[in-house]
Structure 1
Amino acid sequence: MKKLLAAGVMLALVVTLAGCGKLSFSSDATDSSSGTATSKYQTTGTVDSSMYQGVIKNGRYQTSSARGLTITTNTQGSNTYNIKSMESGLKSISMTHFSTSKYDLEEGQLISTATAENWLARQSSSNPDGLNPAKGSGADYQTKRPEYLATLLEQDYMVANGNSLKLGGISIALGMNEYYYYQKKAYGATYSTHIDTPTLNKAGRAMAAKVVARLRKMKGVSNDTPIVVALYKNADQDALVGGTFFSSVTSKSGTQLGDWKTINEQNQVLPVVENEKALNTTVANDFSNFSDQIENFFPTLAGVTAQTHYESGQLTGMNITVNTQFYGQTEIESFTQYVASSAQKYLPSGSKIEITIQSTSGIQAFVARESGEKSFYTHVFGSY
């Protein structure tokens, strides 16, 4: 298990998938550990039941052409943490609807690049499909009619259908702007408008109804294909963490939406900055004790920071980055073991924790513990 997890970590650190694809259906897999191949398809396999298998067709992983697209009229998409947390968060929401034992995950194949760009833009006579409000009249449209939607993400969930796969469900994330950035003239100063949650909720729910209606008309989507739409609040462009989901709804058939559900998520960087109050003082103190311990023992550290994620007030994940000045392999190995033992002693129990040890030359080691487990596993990257 440790070797598989370490291999997965190295693959995630090295490989970034990008590209495009069209909707097509192929054959399902039966081996969940290593994937299964036929003349038409292959699955990626998984290391445990908490992960979806990915779909490979004709020797290629199926990527989404619309993934990561943002509106281009301003600087909304400059926080790179947003798309990462949106993607992982949407998968977590989807797991409550689409079981990993029954469904395989395929990156969105329905919404093309051109379609996504039209939907993300403002509505106009030349673009009636725009989900953002039209400019209207008056020079103050940027503040009175801001662009609420910055990005969208599609995930397709496939199920076995004889010797092929068929679309079993769709999840859509709508990335909404809590802070709308704009320029009054090209290359001029950047201004911002804060958009409160009730306003985002109202705009997002109206957009969700339109998105569901449009998806129902697309090829391959049946009238009873479940469609999950989740509203995501983008973190501002200078934040050191990604945004959070705040509401979701499911359409089980047709264009009708079910009851909206409130999602309570929060993210925070530790140590807190600019006199910000800790969301959980116990977690903040635990992290402070951990960082003090390793910084005192290894004074050449350049810094220790953490990204924390809370759901309904409970810590569910912590990603820690340790910046070092180490170069000797023996020194790195000793430090990694000390980090693991200190994490075991000081950091909160029960939640998922990932610790990346890195220098200016790259990632040196990785320490992690899965949710619900007690012990940490480690991996030190070699020079060969």
Structure 2
Amino acid sequence: MKKKAAIVISLLMSVLLISACSNSSDNNGGSTNTARTNKTTSKKGYQTTGKTADSDYQGVIKNGKYKTSRARGVGITQDADNMLNLQSFESGLTSLSKTQFSPKKYVFQEGQILSRSTVENWLDRQSGDNPTGLNPKDNGQKDAKKRTPKYIQQIEEQDYMNDDNGKLSLGGITIGIGMNRKDYYQKEQYGATYSTDISQDEIIKQGRIAAAKILARLRKEKGVTNDTPIMIAMFEQAPNDSLVGGSFYSTTLSKSGNEINNWKDTHLSSYTFPATATKSVPNDNDETSFEVFQNKIKDFFPNLAGVTAQGQYKNKTLQGMKVNITTQFYSQTEITSFTQYVAQAARTYLPTGIPIDITIKGADGTVQAFLSREDDNGDFYSHVFSSY
């Protein structure tokens, strides 16, 4: 889960800070939270986005435009059936990268080495026309237990740049590899959707095979040297009907060459709040805190369609939480008052010492308000979106 670190969210928060002067709410039970202004910094030949917190990365702007990934959009296309997977994948990858590439030392740049066509070919099955496919050849079977599934679902590259007197150079790379727990397929075009289950052992085995191939291929790419640090993070996709996104389960760091000497377990897992009958959260106190928060805000307004959350744990310790509230409010004053109350209730009842994001949406999916808190700050920044 992001820790206000994902670049996309950092950019979003920058927009919110700029627009907050026209319609924002910073009510935190009597205290006011003043956010830092995001400043663009000029360099020789490029600019950086600046950052809203010391824990954020600065992004790269070239010729006045944010430098997007060369493979931009591939993840969205491959993972559209469960956007929670995509969100958990992207934000979690950036958070893990901080363990190797500190935001104080490196500048973040969207992947510039792997092209869109390269990633698409790697995610496809191996065939005569596509020898670089990381997924195995189709054996022609249609039965769920007999067919050869696709193991690799998603690949994302992140580049971390050294800034030497205004000149950028590649300092390291992070590669995220998303693995299927279920591979969805159709026996005929436009027909019903079926799925093949993939065991945990097979996920780990096939993931490490793919990681070794990707590492060797990256070392041959232009601009990547034999001693460029390359971090690889393995992600297990959640099923399409899951209420939470998947989790990263292991990482490795290649400091040089093509050999992978060891893997480290992340001990990360995602859970939904309120807990389900089949999957309870690791810590009962966290569940109790959420239930109290949920009941308080449901009692405040009658027009609530739902209050849920996704929490990420490391072992049995909660690392962060994303709360989603669906409303049926019709007036701007109702939304504003509700947002102010949610900020107070979240500060009082939700677990402390962790980053929390709260999104308030209308029944049509429109975002009405957004609240966010860093782990080292008890106050929530809040913004109510105008209806005009």
Same fold (TM over 0.5): yes
The corresponding residue for 2:114 is 111
In structure 2, the gaps of 5 or more residues are 1-8, 19-36
Which amino acid in structure 1 is aligned with residue 39 of structure 2? S
The corresponding residue for 2:373 is 369
The corresponding residue for 1:51 is 56
Which amino acid in structure 2 is aligned with residue 197 of structure 1? Q
CA-to-aligned-CA distance 1:335-364 (integer Å, 9 cap, x gap) = 222212211221111111111223247333
Q: Is the 8 A contact 1:252 1:258 kept in 2?
A: no
* Greater shift in the superposed pair: 124-133 or 269-278: 269-278
Which amino acid in structure 1 is aligned with residue 218 of structure 2? L
Matched, 1:225 2:218: no
Q: Secondary structure at the match of 1:309?
A: strand
Give 1:109 shift. Answer: 0.8
Q: Secondary structure at the match of 2:262?
A: coil
Corresponding residue pairs, total: 361
Q: Separation in 1 of the partners of 2:283 and 2:307?
A: 18
Q: Separation in 2 of the partners of 1:143 and 1:84?
A: 32
Give 1:92 shift. Answer: 0.9
The corresponding residue for 2:338 is 335
The corresponding residue for 1:153 is 156
Q: Separation in 2 of the partners of 1:157 and 1:143?
A: 42
Q: CA separation of 1:70/1:42 partners in 2, compared to 1, >3 Å: closer, same or farther?
A: closer
Which amino acid in structure 2 is aligned with residue 57 of structure 1? K
* Greater shift in the superposed pair: 220-229 or 316-325: 316-325
Q: Separation in 1 of the partners of 2:340 and 2:352?
A: 18
The corresponding residue for 1:88 is 91
Q: 1:296 aligns with which of 299, 302, 314?
A: 299
* Greater shift in the superposed pair: 210-219 or 271-280: 271-280
Q: Secondary structure at the match of 1:89?
A: helix
CA-to-aligned-CA distance 1:257-302 (integer Å, 9 cap, x gap) = 2311111111122223465433332212211111111111211222
Which amino acid in structure 1 is aligned with residue 47 of structure 2? Q
CA-to-aligned-CA distance 1:211-237 (integer Å, 9 cap, x gap) = 011001111101110001111001111
The corresponding residue for 1:129 is 132
Which amino acid in structure 2 is aligned with residue 374 of structure 1? G
TM-score scaled by structure 1? 0.86
CA-to-aligned-CA distance 1:8-40 (integer Å, 9 cap, x gap) = 4373799xxxxxxxxxxxxxxxxx952322462
Give 1:383 shift. Answer: 4.5
* Greater shift in the superposed pair: 253-262 or 91-100: 253-262
Sequence identity of aligned pairs in percent? 48
Which amino acid in structure 1 is aligned with residue 128 of structure 2? S
Q: Separation in 2 of the partners of 1:229 and 1:132?
A: 18
Which amino acid in structure 1 is aligned with residue 88 of structure 2? S
Which amino acid in structure 2 is aligned with residue 336 of structure 1? T
In structure 1, the gaps of 5 or more residues are 15-31
Q: CA separation of 1:143/1:233 partners in 2, compared to 1, >3 Å: closer, same or farther?
A: farther
Q: CA separation of 1:359/1:144 partners in 2, compared to 1, >3 Å: closer, same or farther?
A: closer
Q: Secondary structure at the match of 1:239?
A: coil
Q: Separation in 1 of the partners of 2:380 and 2:229?
A: 38
The corresponding residue for 1:27 is none
Q: Is the 8 A contact 2:46 2:60 kept in 1?
A: yes
Alignment of 1:156-167 (within 5 A): 156-167=159-170
